[in-house]
Every structure is written in C-alpha cells, then in structure tokens.
Chain A
Amino acid sequence: MKFWEVTLNLLEGFGTTCSIFAATLILALPLGLLIAFGSMSRFRPLRYVCRTVVWIIRGTPLMLQIIAIFYGPPLLFGISGFDRVPAVIVAFAINYACYFSEIYRGGIESVPRGQMEAGQVLGMKKGQIFRHIILIQVIKRIVPPMSNEIITLVKDTSLARVISVAEIIMEAQEYTRQGLIWPIFYTGAFYLIFVGALTLLFRYLEKRLAYIKV
C-alpha cells in the first residue's frame, strides 16, 4: 500500500531529523553555557570574541552557515571537510549555542546579586554558589524561552536539505517530483506530534519548578 510505504520512508527521514535535533541539543546546551560565561567574562578580549561570534552567528542565516561549514574547508584550504550529516550538526550546534548563550546570560543576570552575596558571606566557594544557588534559579527562569528555541530547532532541521541530507522534507519532496503531492503535507503531522510531546515535557518541567518563587 502506498500510504505505508510513504509513512515508512518519511519515518526514515524523520529519524535523521531527530538525530540532528538530539545531537544539536547535546552539543549546544553546554557550549551555549561556555559562550555565556565568555560573554560575561571580566577578561575583555574573551568577552569581545564571544560577543562577536554571537553577533556573526545570529546575524547571518543558518542556511548560509551550513553551506559555509560544508563547502568552506575544501574550497578555502583544499582539505576534505566534514561529511554531510556532521557538517549539519556542527553548523546547528554553533548556531543554537549562540542563541542559547544569550538566554543563559539573560537568566544568569536576572538572578539578584544578593543571592550570590548571601552565598559569599556564608563562606561558600564560587562553584558551590553557582551549583547550589544560582543554577536552579537560572533554569527556572529560562525554561520558557528555551522551550521556544528548542521547538524552533525541531523545524529548523529541515534546512539540512540544502546540502542534501535526507531529512523528512527531502524525502517527501522525492514524491512531489514523482507527482505525488500529499506526502509533503503529511510531514506536518510528524512535526506536530513531536512538538506536541516537547510541549508537554516543558509544561511538566515548568510545573516541577513552580515551587521556586522568584
């Protein structure tokens, strides 16, 4: 039956979509925190470098960045660069790390200074203050903006097809080329279900953190 065949093919593409999504999150969540620390650093050169990187990445289209990372190294240095999927993941990780870093920074800066000072006068170490006092309050504040970004990431993965990574939209376009239109609309269902699950997860997280009143 055509429907099952299409579904299976789209599922395969959606698997690629999900791996890009997961790999990007795993890399970008910690990398974003590093960039956030860098852009708040008291060491001026580091701060400028981080803020410039964030400006460039947020100031140019993700599609352009994917192309640059895939075609850049071979064209510029004549070396063999990344394979297709790793190139996409690197581009996504850097791009999302920059967006995350700004969310982290906003979250960290919104925790009142008095919280850190209260830890300091109690003789706590900087790391202890961050882990036991600041971090959970930051997480509480950034869950809504982060869920927004992460939901956007689900759909942004469709950009991977500019360098021919066979994610779900690209799979569906194969059918369009053969004159079959409905599979391209059918992909919407996959995204909706995935985003629906994420939405429930974030709602649960927000509820779990509701006991912190800030």
Chain B
Amino acid sequence: MEFLRVEGFRKSFSGKEVLKGIDFSLEQGQILAIIGSSGSGKTTLLRCLNFLETPDEGRIFLGGELLSDATCKYSERELRAKRLKFGLVFQNFNLFPHYRALKNVTLAADLLAKERARAQKKEAVAAGCKRSRAAAEAKEFYRSLLAENRRRAEVLLERVSLSDKAESYPFELSGGQQQRVAIARALALEPEILCFDEPTSALDPELTGEVLKAIRALKGRTMIIVTHEMAFARDVADRVLFMADGVVEESGTPEEVFGNPQKGKTKAFLRHREEMI
C-alpha cells in the first residue's frame, strides 16, 4: 500500500521552472533514491517535501490522507506540524555549532517538552488547580520529559556509533562524525519519512563509507535519498527515480533503472557516471 504520494509538484524560481510536474509514490519502509545531474531539481524537490520551499502547485498525501496542497495557505503552526512528518539531513550537516553533539540531538525535543509542560500548567490552572501546585507539577513533568529526551538521544548516538562523542562540539568532530550526529538529530523527533540531501557530497572520500553505513543501518524506515553515489543507490534503494530537467525521466527498481534503462537521457547519465569512476 502506498504511504507517500506526491502529485504534480511544480516550482519556478524567478521565471525559471525547476520542477515541471513531479509525481511519485512510496510504500512504508521503502527507500527511494533520487538520482540525476546537478540542476535537475532533485534538491528543490526535497526542500518542497520538507516545506523549506512552497511549490507553486502540487499535493502531498501521507498514509492516504492529504497532508498539504500548495494552493492552500497554512499558518505557521500548521506548517510546523506538517514539517515534523519529515526529517531532513543536509548536505553540509548544519549542526548547531554552539551545542554539544547530544544537545544538538535533543534541542528540538527539549523545546517541544517546554511547550508541553507550559500547556499542561495552563490546563491545570484553568481546571482550578492552585497555581503553585500546577507550576510544580509542570516542572516535574518537564524534567521527566528532558530525561526521556536525553535517554533517547543517547540511544540514537549509539546507533550511529558516536556514544563517545556525545559531549563534543561539532568543530571537534570530523565531517563524517558531524553528518552522523545530524542523522541522529533528524531521527530524534521520529519523522515518518527521513530525507537526505546528498549526505556525502561535502565529505572527503574516505569518510563517505561511515555515513553510508549509518544510513544503511536505518533500513526499514521510509527514506528518500538524493545521492550521487550510484553504487550505494543501487545497493540500498527499493526504488530509483531518475530526474532530468525538472521531470521524472525514469523510475523503477534499481535493477530496472541501472540494469536496463529505457530512456536515452538515463543511459547517457549512467554511462557518464561510469566513465567518471
């Protein structure tokens, strides 16, 4: 059963059409690799999915329900809720330089915890509870949430093999380690779909392996990976989508797209890639 469906995504930047009607769907637990040359619209597509850009047209369905329609205007609050369905790992990590690795992972969850504690206090006061008691209970609740966030962040850092770096600042970490912290951070709020925007492009070649390994270990989650690593895409993906000039030129299983490409552009792209290696 399809879990995510994207319908008719279009996006122009100052008159230039970057996405010219993108449609695709994905099943729960599947990994979709998006390949294509630079400027084909891969990154814009990912940014639209994460609500960093608003497409001019197009709809997203998640779990059979309409999640967003580009023609509707959503409030900041609604956008936040929708954003949380997706996680994004950036090409250049974008870790918060002033927080240690663990805090990078917990920050967003901690802020949500604060909001929840505040809401609980408000409710208690509205229900006639004494202000001081409501405040004390909210504080206790907040503490328990923080402890839970911390525990979960530690588990996540362990999963990307960085338990020993929890108290390190980003600048003390290698690029590969930073990207693995970024993966843990993106998982902290348990997004339904985790997106990767060329997660290894900013890394030295000898560091790409550890990041790809960390991504591979997440198999079972629904993921969308924009990548230039053809071997990785072929190996890890359930579906491959080849984009060219803002359209989905070809899509299918890795065997179909890599093993027996139908379109001329796909063949040319793959041949060119091989020549580079």
A residues neighboring B (CB under 8 Å): 112, 114-115, 117-126, 128, 132-133, 136-137, 140, 211-214
Contact = CB atoms under 8 A, between A and B. Distances in A.
A36 to B, nearest CB: 20
Given A123-B83, A123-B189, A115 B94 contact: yes
Contacts, number: 62
A121 B76 contact: no
B87 A121 contact: yes
Contacts of B169: 211, 213
Given A122-B189, A123-B189, A133 B80 contact: no
Given A124-B108, A124-B111, A128-B111, A212 B98 contact: yes
Interface string B99-114: 0000000011001100
Nearest to A139: B98
27 contacts: A114-B90, A118-B90, A118-B95, A119-B108, A120-B51, A120-B83, A121-B51, A121-B52, A121-B186, A122-B83, A122-B188, A123-B80, A123-B83, A123-B108, A123-B112, A123-B189, A124-B108, A124-B111, A125-B80, A128-B111, A132-B107, A136-B98, A137-B98, A211-B169, A212-B97, A213-B171, A214-B97
Given A117-B52, A121-B186, 15 more contacts: A117-B90, A118-B94, A118-B95, A119-B108, A121-B86, A121-B88, A122-B188, A122-B189, A123-B80, A123-B189, A126-B76, A211-B98, A213-B97, A213-B170, A214-B97
A117, A121, A126, A132 — which one has the most chain B CB atoms within 10 A of its CB?
Answer: A121
Contact of B94 (A114, A211, A214): A114
Interface of A is mostly: helix
Contact of B108 (A114, A115, A122): A122
Contacts of B189: 122-123
Contacts of B51: 120-121
B218 interface: no
A124 B79 CA distance: 10
Nearest to A214: B97
Contacts of A117: 52, 90, 94
Contacts of B54: none
Contacts of B107: 122, 132
A211 B170 CA distance: 10
Contact of B96 (A118, A121, A123, A125): A118
B208 interface: no
A137 B95 CA distance: 12
Interface in B159-173: 169-171
B92 interface: yes
A121 B89 CA distance: 9
B50 interface: yes
